[in-house]
Amino acid sequence: MLRRFDVHRATTVDEAIALRSRFGEDAALYAGGTELLLAMKLGLARWPQLIDLKPIPALAQVQATAAVVRIGATVTHWTLERDPEIARVVPAFAALERNVANIRVRAAGTLAGNLAFAEPHADPPSLLLALGASVVLQSAAGTRSLAIDEFITGMYQTALGPDELIVAIEIPVPAPAVRASYVKFQVIERPSVGVAVVAALRDGRFDGAPTVVVGAVDEVPRLVPTAELAGAEAADPRTAEALAEAARGAVDPTADLAGSATYKRHVVGVFARRALAALLTEAA
């Protein structure tokens, strides 16, 4: 059961922004509801007004150009895991989407909502950060674009302004030599460790340094320092060990139901190796 609230169906972005200005802190933005309604049912949050973004046609689309894949704010995980352009351009992200939560959450939940909630135990933020994705925000003053680590500022905290809404997530189309992978460890409903690796390969070596992000263990996704791996032989076991060591050192795990900090740090190393192995399998 939920306490009483009113849902306002916005049909344009401008209308949604106007409603946000009108209601201020009394209103929450609403799309899939998979996080919002849960929080409200548990009594963790109460909003007397919800602004429904789903009727806005412009937010419901996936658009791909040669340079960028633009995912509208109300696009669901269900759509993303089936979208042919996503599968072609960023197959690792399509694979991640196929394994978010469960089929019902994917059918209703949106990528933008996942990011807006900034729940640390989430899959998309780490790979999106590694891919250099950005979150496009719009207010009456105009639009701005933030990198994932600028947008997610802490546990359940984001840079979303009180007068703004997410209109899209943009993923730059990776260069042809770039490979990406995401692997996770999950024993309960949400991932306890997720590792994303994005790297350009040339003749079996990293072209530059790989981008590695560890998600879910810490308060926010952590970018792993990898400068010393620039040019390293990707399939060399010493590379995997150096990557695992760097990943373990980059995180400050939160102890919770999924395990202690020591345990999680160990698992981060194991999954960093597996993420690299998955990337090499994809490259082969």
Rounded to whole angstroms, how far apart are CA atoms 247 and 57?
41
**Residue from 86, 101, 152, 272 in contact with other proteins (CB under 8 A):** 101
**Residue from 56, 78, 94, 205 in contact with other proteins (CB under 8 A):** 78
Rounded to whole angstroms, how far apart are CA atoms 236 and 65?
36
Number of residues that bind other proteins (CB under 8 A): 23
Asked if 22 interacts with other proteins (CB under 8 A), we say no
Asked if 102 interacts with other proteins (CB under 8 A), we say yes
Q: Is the dihedral of CA 153, 156, 161, 167 positive or negative?
A: positive
Asked if 34 interacts with other proteins (CB under 8 A), we say yes
Asked if 107 interacts with other proteins (CB under 8 A), we say yes
Burial class (CB in 10 A: 0-12, 13-18, 19+), 177: exposed
Q: How far is the CB of 277 from other proteins (least distance, A)?
A: 21
- Return the SS3 of 60: coil
Q: Which of residues 49-68 bind other proteins (CB under 8 A)?
A: 50
Asked if 187 interacts with other proteins (CB under 8 A), we say no
DSSP state at residue 172: E
- Contact partners, residue 10, CB within 8 Å, separation at least 6: 16, 19, 51, 52, 53, 55, 56
Q: How far is the CB of 17 from other proteins (least distance, A)?
A: 20
Asked if 150 interacts with other proteins (CB under 8 A), we say no
What the block records as the tokens of 213 is: 């992000």
Asked if 4 interacts with other proteins (CB under 8 A), we say yes
Asked if 3 interacts with other proteins (CB under 8 A), we say yes
Q: What does the binding site for other proteins look like in residue numbers (CB under 8 A)?
A: 1-7, 33-34, 37-38, 41, 50, 78, 98, 101-105, 107-108, 189
